[in-house]
Structure 1
Amino acid sequence: MKKEASAIENGSHFPHYLHELSEEDEKRLEKLFKQLDANGDGRIDVQDLSESLKRMGVHQLPGHAEKFIERSDQNQSGDLTLAEFVHYVIEHEKKLRLVFSSLDHNKDGRLDLDEIYSSLHKLGLKITRGEARKLLERMDKDGTLVINFGEWRDYLLFHPSSELHDILQYWRHSTYLDIGEDLNVPDDFSAAELQQGLWWRHLLAGGVAGAVSRTATAPLDRLKVFLQVHGKSHFSSIKHCLRHMLNEGGVRSLWRGNGINVLKIAPESALKFMAYEYAKRALRGERPREISIYERFAAGSFAGGFSQTVIYPMEVLKTRLALRRTGQYKGMVDAAMKIYNAEGMRAFYKGYIPNLLGIIPYAGIDLCVYETLKKRYLRNHDETEDPGVMVLLACGTVSSTCGQIASYPLALVRTRLQAAAVLQQQAGGVDPATLNMRTLFRSIVRQEGFLGLYRGIAPNFLKVAPAVSISYVVYEKCRTALGVTMT
C-alpha cells in the first residue's frame, strides 16, 4: 500500500498495477526503474533514459528515448513516475507477447532460427537466413540459438513500437541523404507514417535540406556543367574555368541556375514519392509484405523515370541558366520563353534519353552498394552496436559515388545535348538538330579519349562530402522541428 500511496502522490493514475504484479515482476520492474533513474529523484526523463540505456549497452536509435517517454507519460509532465513506467511496460509487454506467440509456431514458448525465418517471410519481411540468424544472436543471451520470451522482451522492451515491421526496422534501418543529384532512389516510409501523414513532413524536411545543400554547393555544380559542356578545348583546368566564370559575371554568377535547381525539388520529390508508392503497391500485390531489394530497385527506377519525364524541361532550363552570359536572360520565365521561341518545345527534352538511361545504373548501384555496406557492418559488429549516423553517412556517400561513376558518361552526354544550341551559337559547331546520343559519344571518345566522358567529375566529387554533411544536419534540425523521427 505504501507503493500505491507513493504513486498517487507522484501524480500517477495507475497505482493498480503495483499490487496486481507478481512479487518477481514487482522486484524486476522496481530494480529496472532505479537503474533508469540516473539522478535518483524518483522520476525518469529523456536525459535519464538516454544515459542509462547507453550505460546498460541497450540498442537504441535517434529519437527512441523521446518517443518512449512520450508514449508512457500519461500526465504529460515530461517525465515518468514509477506507476507510469510500470503501467506502460506491462501494456507493452502484453503486445510483445502477442507478437512472440504469432512467431512461435509449435507453441513451445521458444523461438528458433527456422521459426523466425519462416514467420518473417510469411509476413512479407524479406530477409536472408543469415540476417535472421544474426537477429536471433542479438537476442540470445545464453548462446543456445533459441530465445524465450524473457530474452525477446528484454531486447525489445525500450523500443517504442510493438509492430513487427517496426521491430525489424529497429534492427535494420537507413537514413536520408541529398547530394543534389537528380536520380536518387526515393525513401521508404512505414505504414504508420503513411497513415498519420508524417511522410509529407519527411519530404518537407528533405526539401529544405536539399535546398540548403544545393545552394551551398551551387558553385561546384556550375563548374561541373561548364567543364562537361566545354571540355578541355576551352579550359585547361578547374582553376582556369573558375577564373573565367568570375571574370565574366563576378561572384554572384557562381549561383546561376541554382534557383531552378532548388525550385524543382518540391515537384520532383512529390512525383517520385507518389510513383514509388504506386509501383510498390503494384509489385506487392494483394499480400501486405515488405518488397525485396530487387523490387525496390525496380520501383525506384520507375519512380525516377516518371518524375524526370514530368520535370525534365526544368533540367534543361537549369543547364541553360547555368551556362548563360551576363544579361542574356532576365530570369527563368524569360529564358524559357526565349528558348521556346527560338528552338520550339523539343528543346526542353534534349538529352532526355541518356538521362532516362542513367537512372538504371545510378539507382541500381547506389542502392545495392548501400545495402551491401550496411549488411557487412551488421555482420561484423556485436549485438549492442547499431549502424550510427557516421556509418550510415559513409555508406551513403560511397554508394552514391559509385552510382555517379557508373552513370556519369550518360549525364555528361545529356548535358551536352541540352547545351548543343548554346555551343552552336557561340562557336558555330554541329547543328543541334543532327546531334544525337550515339554521335556525341563517338565524337567525345574520338576527340578527348575515354576520359573525356568523365570531364567535370572532379568538382562533382568535391561537392559530395559538404553536400552530404549539410543535407544531413539541416534535415535533422528540420525533422526535429516538424516532430518526426527517422525511420
Structure 2
Amino acid sequence: MESQRVRLNLSFLNPFLLRSSKHRINSEPNAVKTGTKKSSMTTQESTTSYESDIESLFNQLDRNGNGYLSRTEFQTAIQSVNLPNSDDFIADLITEYTHNHRQKSNSSVSITKQQFISSAIKKERTIHKIFNKIDSNSNGFLTSDEIISYLSNIGISATDQDANRMISMLNKSSQTLNYQQFRAFAVLLPHAQLKYNLVWAWFEASFDANSDRKRSTPKVEHLKQFLAGGLSGAFARTLVAPVDRVVNQIMSGSSMASSSVRHAIWKIYKSEGFLGLFRGNTVTVFKKFPQKAIEFAVYDKLTRILINTKRNSQEMDDSLEMETPKVSNLERFLIGSSSGAASQSILHAFDVAKMHQSMGKQGSIIAVMIELARTQGIRGMYRGYVPSLIDTVAGTGIGFMTYEAGMQMYRNMCKRRPNGIEVTGIAAVSSAFTLTCCMPLAAVVKRMVAQGQPGVAKYRNVFDCVATVARTEGVGGFYRGILGVYLKIVPSIAFTFLLYDQITRKWAVGGTRRYSK
C-alpha cells in the first residue's frame, strides 16, 4: 500500500473528545508537573478513570462494535488525524499492540480492547511529560501561544495560523486543547515517535496533503541523523578491525605480509600481542564515524529532495494521480554515488594516513598526517585520490542501490518490513555483490596509496598500476586477498546497515516523514 496523507472527518471521535473535556482536565497532568502526592484511593480512582477514557476511545474506534480493532478500523483512525497511512507506520503500531514482530502488514489484524488499553497505559507517562512541557502556565489547557513557544524551543518556526490549525484539528469547538483531547492523538503514534517527535508529528499532521508550505524540522534532528550514521559505521568497523589490518597488508602487495588471513593474524598476535590486532583502528573509527555520518545524511537528504521534487511536479500536473513518488534504481545509484563522493572528498587524507600507519608507520594519526604533509605536501596526503574517489563513488552507488532494491524486493515478496536478522542478510548479499564489482578498483587504490612503503612497487600513474598488475600477476592480482575482503567488509557493511536501521527507528529519525520514503 502506498503511503497516503488523507484528511478525513474527525466527527466520529468527537463524542469521546467532548466527553473527556468535561472532567479531569487538570488532574493527572498537573499532578505530575507539581509532584503532588496522591493517596492510594485517589491514584486508584485516577487509574480507573483513565482506563475508562481509553476504553471509550477504543469503543469510538471500534466502529462495528465487535470488541476488536480491524486493520480497516485502525487505518480509519490513523487517517482521521492525518498520520501516514503506510504499511510501515501501521506495522510499528501493530507490533506495539500485539507484540508480534513478524506480523504481516497486509494480513487480517485484530487488536483486542485489552491490548489497546495496555499499550496506551505504557505511553501515558510520556504523554503527560510532553503535555506539561507545552502547558507552561499549568492550567490544564494548551493555547496557541504555548504551542508556538514549544515549537520555537525545538527549532520549528510556527505562526498563529499554524497553532490554531493544530488545535482545530483535535478540537473544533474551542481555541484551547485539554489533556484528553491531546492524548487521543498521541496514543495513535508509535512509541518512538511519541517520545521524540510528538509535537512535530502533530504539527506535520495539521497540514493538508497538498499544502505547499515549507516546513522546518527540529534542530536536534540533524544531530540525531549524524550520530546514527556515525555510530553505526564506527561500531561495525571495530568488530572487524583485526581482519581489516591484515587485508590491507595483503592487498597492498607488501612483501612482509603473509599469504593467508589466518597466518597473518597469528603473526601479528605473536609479535605485537592482542592490541596489535587493533593497531590503526583508532584511525578507522576516527574516519568511519564522519564518513558514514556524511554518507547516510547526504543520501537521506538527497532522497527526500528528489521525492519532494517529484511530488511537487505531480501537484502541478492535474492529469497525474497523487501517489508517493518512486525512486528508481538509477536514481538511487546516483544519489548513493553523490554521498560517497562527498565523504571521500572530505576524508581522503585520513585514508592515506591509515594506510601508512597499518603498514608500520609509527606515531598517532595526527603525527602521521603532519609527517606526510611535511615530506610530501598536500599532493602526498591526497595520493590515490582519483582512483579512490572512483572506487568510493562506484561502491556507495552500487551498495545503496542494491540494498534498497533488496529491501523493496523483500517487501514485495513477504508483504512486510524485514526484521533485524533479515536486514542483516539483505545488506550482506548487497555488500558481497558490490565488492565483487569493485574489488579490482579497490586493489588499484590501495597499491597507489601504499606505494613507497617497504616492499611495495612504485607506479607512474593509475594506468601504469593497472598494466603492471595485469602483466605480472594476471587477473588474480586484482582479486588478491578477496576472501579477507569478504571477511572484513561484508559483516562490516551488514552490521552498519543493521545498526543504522535500528538506531534511526529507536530515535525516530526523520519523524513521521520517514514513513513516506
The verdict on a shared fold, with TM-score over 0.5 as the criterion, is: yes
How do 1:313-324 residues align onto structure 2 when only pairs under 5 Å count? 313-324=349-360
Aligned match for 1:32, one of 56, 66, 69: 69
Q: For 1:32, what is the secondary structure of its paired residue?
A: strand
Structure 1 residues 51 and 213, CA, compared in 2 at 3 Å: closer, same or farther?
Answer: closer
Which residue of 2 is the match for residue 11 of structure 1? 50
Residue 305 (str. 1) matches residue 341 (str. 2): yes
User: 1:455 aligns to what?
Assistant: 480
Check conservation: 2:245, 2:280, Cα contact below 8 A. yes
Contact 2:339 2:396 in 1 (8 A): no
Look up the equivalent residue of 2:249 and give its one-letter code.
Answer: F
Does the CA contact (< 8 Å) of 1:12 and 1:75 recur in 2? Answer: no
Question: Within the alignment, does 1:50 sit opposite 2:73 as a pair?
Answer: no
Q: TM-score, normalising length from structure 2?
A: 0.56
1:76 alignment counterpart? 124
Which whole-Å deviations, capped at 9, do the CAs of 1:275-296 have from their partners, x for residues lacking one?
4466553796485455433223
The residue type equivalent to 1:367 in the other structure is F
- 2:463 aligns with 438
Match of 2:375 among 342, 354, 360: 342
Q: Is the 8 A contact 1:231 1:455 kept in 2?
A: no
Q: CA deviation at 1:399?
A: 0.8
CA distance in structure 2 between the partners assigned to 1:15 and 1:396 by the alignment:
41
Contact 1:260 1:314 in 2 (8 A): yes
Tell me, what secondary structure is at the counterpart of 2:387? helix
Q: Report SS of the residue matched to 1:350.
A: coil
**Contact 2:252-2:446 within 8 A present in 1 as well:** yes
User: What is the 5 A alignment of 1:118-137?
Assistant: none
Unaligned runs of 5+ in 2: 1-14, 24-44, 71-92, 109-115, 128-186, 192-213, 313-324
Matched, 1:242 2:287: no
Count of residue pairs the alignment pairs up: 352
Say if 1:364 and 1:308 are closer, same or farther in 2 by CA, change over 3 A: closer
Q: State the distance in 2 between where 1:56 and 1:292 align.
A: 25
Q: Among residues 366, 388, 393, which one is paired with 1:355 in the alignment?
A: 388
| Separation in structure 2 between the aligned mates of residue 388 and residue 311 of structure 1, nearest angstrom | 33
Secondary structure in structure 1 of the residue aligned to 2:50: coil
Amino acid at match of 2:461: N
Mapped contact 2:332–2:397 kept (Cα < 8 A): no
Determine the C-alpha separation between the residues in 2 that align with 1:286 and 1:473: 29
Using the alignment, how far apart are the partners of 2:46 and 2:106 within structure 1? 27
**Structure-2 separation of matches of 1:276 and 1:479:** 14
Q: Partners of 2:58 and 2:401 in 1: how far apart?
A: 53
* In structure 1, distance between residues paired with 2:258 and 2:408: 43
Structure 2 residue identity aligned to 1:313: A
Return the alpha-carbon distance in structure 2 between the equivalents of residues 354 and 397 of structure 1. 25
Q: Tell whether the 8 Å contact from 1:264 to 1:311 is kept in structure 2 after alignment.
A: yes
Which amino acid in structure 2 is aligned with residue 462 of structure 1?
Answer: L
State the 1:258 CA deviation: 1.1
Aligned counterpart in structure 1 of residue 410 of structure 2, from 377, 382, 398: 377
Aligned equivalent of 1:203, options 226, 234, 237: 226
Structure 1 residue runs of 5 or longer lacking an equivalent are 34-44, 61-67, 80-156, 162-190
CA distance in 1, matches of 2:58, 2:63: 11
CA displacement 1:240-295 (0-9 Å, x = unmatched): 43344345433322222211111123432444356446655379648545543322
Q: How does 1:178-193 map to 2 (within 5 A)?
A: none
Q: Deviation at 1:482?
A: 4.7
For 2:50, give the aligned amino acid: G
SS in 2 for 1:25: coil
Counterpart CA distance in 1 for 2:478 and 2:452 is 20
Pair 222,299 (structure 1): closer, same or farther in 2 beyond 3 Å: same
Write the distance in 2 (CA, Å) between the matches of 1:54 and 1:278. Answer: 30
Superposed CA offset, 1:62-100 (max 9, x none)? xxxxxx989966982589xxxxxxxxxxxxxxxxxxxxx
Pick the aligned partner of 2:448 from 399, 417, 422.
417
The residue type equivalent to 2:446 in the other structure is T
2:247 to 224, 236, 250: 224
- Following TM superposition, by how much is the alpha carbon of 1:336 offset from its aligned partner in structure 2, in angstroms? 1.3
C-alpha contact (below 8 Å) 1:59/1:386 kept by paired residues: no
Match of 2:421 among 371, 380, 390: 390
Q: Secondary structure at the match of 1:344?
A: helix
For residue 251 of structure 1, the aligned residue among 266, 274, 277 is 274
Name the SS of the counterpart of 1:198 in structure 2: helix
In structure 2, the CA distance between the partners of 1:310 and 1:159, relative to structure 1 (3 Å rule), is: same
CA distance in 2, matches of 1:278, 1:55: 30
Aligned residue type for 1:32: L
1:298 positional shift: 1.2
In structure 2, C-alpha distance between the alignment counterparts of 1:7 and 1:338, rounded to whole Å: 69
CA contact (8 A) 1:245 1:253 kept: yes
CA shift, 1:359, in A, is 3.1
TM-score, normalisation: structure 1: 0.59
Deviations 1:308-359 (A, max 9, x none): 11111011111111111xxx52311221122222222211111111112123
1:50 aligned partner, one-letter code = T
Which of 277, 284, 294 aligns to 2:330? It is 294
Q: CA deviation at 1:401?
A: 0.9
Letter in 1 for 2:98: S
Distance 2:117 2:437 in 1: 46
Pairwise CA RMSD: 4.7
Instruction: State the identity as a percent.
Output: 23
1:24-52: CA deviation from partner (whole Å, max 9, x where unpaired): 82614x3439xxxxxxxxxxx99982247
Conserved? CA contact 1:409–1:454, under 8 Å? yes
SS in 2 for 1:401: helix
Aligned residue type for 2:487: L
| Conservation of the 8 A alpha-carbon contact between 2:225 and 2:293 | no
Shift of 1:224: 0.8
